[in-house]
Amino acid sequence: MINYRYLGNSGLKITELTYGNWLTHGSQVENEQATACVKAALDVGITSFDTADVYANTKAETVLGEILKGERRESLEIFTKVFWPTGPGGANDSGLSRKHIMESINGSLKRLQTDYVDLYQAHRYDHETPLEETMQAFADVVRQGKAHYIGVSEWTADQIRAGAALAKQLGFQLISSQPQYSMLWRVIEDEVVPASHESGVSQIVWSPVAQGVLTGKYKPGQAPPAGSRATDEKGGKKMIGRFFDNEVLLERVQKLKPIADELELSMAQLAVAWVLQNNNVAAAIVGASRPEQVHENAKASGVTIPAELMSRIDDALGDVVVRDPRQTVESNPTGRPS
């Protein structure tokens, strides 16, 4: 079964493997297959589910809500997010204004077929809305019982500190940050993680397997396997391109296989277990297009990687690891997307 961890400085426990439906439900995976994957997640003990209103332009929330509606609500932890455009993309259909937050939470609850979400997250930082307005709106969402806790995604260290301080003044908790994090992408380590420790925030990380690159299935000098994410024209190919096009990186990744073998893990399990060694990480988000992938990912829960092997992983990857904290700023919008 999957281990639980506390989320931030709160009493909320979530499963250290959280099932996410970005790039799958409502777009790449048929509903029948999506149902099988969610049921597999429940079977292995995953009770935490992450989605967002923007995923498949609201369809991902709808699919997840339909699948989970027969489950005991109190036994689940459901997360969703607000920021990116939904609907027709009108002037107020994105961002973190009070208007957009209030309308978005109502839409998400309807699609998810629930009275509340356990965690409501700011999907990015909104430079066009005063932070005070955003945090007051989140405070009201919590007081209205529509969300139990508030989190953020891809915020900088300074933004997390400012948001957490305002939340405290307004009488609620900012408890989570959802950044990209993997063996290959470590931009949160120098600034975001220390700021999060100070602020009572922990990480729910996405792409722990680096869009599949860390599975080892992409070999240097070879075409990607048929049916893999690198061949998916609906979005997967674009996301994985920056990793897949780097021949040196792909060669370094292959050096991880002996380490995985030593731990009797697959390379994907090693990658997920690796992010969970960071004590500021509460959960790794894992997705799936087949139930078998869920069962395989589950084996990463509870794994301890010895310090000597953690050092060997660093040696194997060397300078292909991205660490620059400025990447968080450079990869985020400076205004509201439309």
Indicate the domain borders of the chain. 4-210+275-305+324-330
Residue with tokens 């499963």: 15
What's the pLDDT at 258? Answer: 98
What's the pLDDT at 222? Answer: 65
Residues 6+ apart with CB under 8 A from 4: 13, 14, 15, 16
Residues 6+ apart with CB under 8 A from 19: 37, 38, 41, 46, 48, 49, 50, 285, 286, 287, 288, 294
Q: Where are the alpha helices (DSSP H) in the chain?
A: 31-44, 59-68, 98-112, 131-143, 157-170, 192-199, 236-244, 247-254, 257-262, 267-275, 291-298, 307-317, 326-330
Catalytic residues: 55
Fold that domain 4-210+275-305+324-330 belongs to in CATH: TIM Barrel (3.20.20)
What's the pLDDT at 31? Answer: 78
Neighbours of 123 (CB within 10 A): 21
H or E segment and range at residue 151 = strand 147-152
Q: Are strands 147-152 and 117-122 parallel, antiparallel or unpaired?
A: parallel
Mean pLDDT by 10 residues, the chain (338 residues): 96 98 64 91 98 93 95 98 90 96 98 98 97 98 98 98 98 97 98 98 97 90 59 55 76 97 98 98 94 96 98 97 94 86
Task: Determine if the pTM surpasses 0.75.
Answer: yes
Calpha distance 18→283 (Å, rounded): 6
What's the pLDDT at 177? Answer: 98
What's the pLDDT at 10? Answer: 98
* Residue 187 contacts residue 327 (beta carbons within 8 Å): yes
Under DSSP, the state recorded for 48 is E
